[in-house]
Structure 1
């Protein structure tokens, strides 16, 4: 580029950070300084991430000095760093709580750089109300409204919260889109079981001159898997190298194995897995084991489990899955062998749970657990809902509204 402005440098630094190339980010920042440029409040958060990535505390202190010198310490930089850190650690509820504190501290104002992180957290937590609140703020702020990353995360948030129609509305009203936008919308269709729509959108994207990347192809294959579109999945998988010049990744193989496994084509799934140049990853063999659980195939399940025990020796769920297949066939010796191996390795199955976030607090529910203070009320209403469902099976769905009101 003959002319590089602050925006150009910031995007380049952020791109290296996003791909975990922290040393490259710091190297290009050295070039940045040689141009007599001063870091701004977009540059500094990325530099802090680079410092963490390479473990350079000294340079981190230098960056902190710039924050103070340039007057950003009362800005959104610190909040964005906290929010970003919680998001990377998977502490989504902490992200949302930190966001609330940021609003209180800054008179209800937020920074455009924090919005995508907040929306991602809302999607992971299923906090639709908070996500809509943030969306409302974006619509009121003209500067935020044209931000493509924010639009992308809005599509993802609504999709993960079960609001596919809202994802479509955001997608159709965005003035500036990129490959991430298309990929996110394709993924939303896929997770909602709308495989045909995902394929149509993917074809529209390609016809529009946008080249799909590896993540896009993973989203399309996952959509085919969720909808059982075997022939279309095969065609997309074969086009990865022949049509787009890419090498199929472990995620692509995992999607295809999952597609075959769900349809009961377990032999084909195993053959595809063995055709991989590498030995495969836990996700690929896990997809095969899941297909075996679905169709109760002992022989192939043992092959998949053997590889998983080597790749993920401390993952108790793989042992439990194999036990479940043995149990479905009454193979008591196999169950005993697996359980003994679990005891030797000190493995304990983590119980699955459901949860709902109310007023910023997550309520978790485990099977058979009555520790929640409202457990008796919850159990009574759940029982009534179950009885209502039985009535619906015989007399139609006329009682659903009454039941929903009762539950609320």
Structure 2
């Protein structure tokens, strides 16, 4: 889906008064990263600036291409089959799985990002879960970090905290710091003095609600809020259905499809990546199956319960709409989101990653009828919609980017 940047060699001179912006996305998968960067990039282009994106996963770049933003394929930090640290208790574990214990892999990534920076010569780099791009851009451009809480820890941290107790941490901060500094030294660059510097910038904008931020207690200022496509509407009093947003991997887990089929005609579902057999079974059970994303502001207004895998985006959407949530967590970020909203009384969180767990449709149906959860969710929705209205996150993020560009 990526398009080549049409400028060969050195960039042409920008129009008078305009500046050049690089959107850089490195780690993580899914359209959430590219969609948010596309929305920011489109606003910066509308303000008269030149914008180009660099993504290490160009197969998720469609939102950027559709926004008219040229896309460059960026280097992948993660070597093929590099999964030697099968743990997730800290962000250090997750970064280790992405290759940040391998100096040679990081050297290749740093060299690739520097080549992109030489070509683009940006005035500002907007970074989304991009630690190697962050290091490569030091002293070369202004940097603003963006991303959900899980992907954007405070840059002041000297160690990444424990996120859960499901398993012990395996990777050590000091080992990662040493590996990163070996890679930087091999490139002729100064080292860093703390792991938080992997997410260092001139500014940082956390694109989620504080409730969904695992580092909320460690930040100097609270998370700024999610970049929603459109404002959420309050759940209607007569809302009765169940809406599910589960990908093909989730539907393939034991018992998931059978549980959803029990919900029958109550169920509306958008299942990206589902097999034809899964789709046929859902339709045979009476569920309404969508083949493309739905306008969540419309769907959630008529929904009694939203069932999803714990993505920060839909968790924030449902929170703002005042809809109770049933979360089938697939991995640690999902688990952290599910546990946070469950602790707030607006969700039930279930460990789909646990091979012993089998979804119980009676539990789903019982939570859909839980009046206490419904009342708490409505109140939480009003609070979170008010936060968004007081300071719209997208406008605020763009304003902070423009302030850096005008500095």
TM-score range, shorter chain: under 0.3
Higher alpha-carbon Rg = 1
TM-score by length of 2: 0.25
Structure with greater proportional helix content: 1
TM-score by length of 1: 0.25
* Greater length-normalized contact order (CA 8 Å, ≥ 6 residues apart): 2
Structure with greater proportional strand content: 2
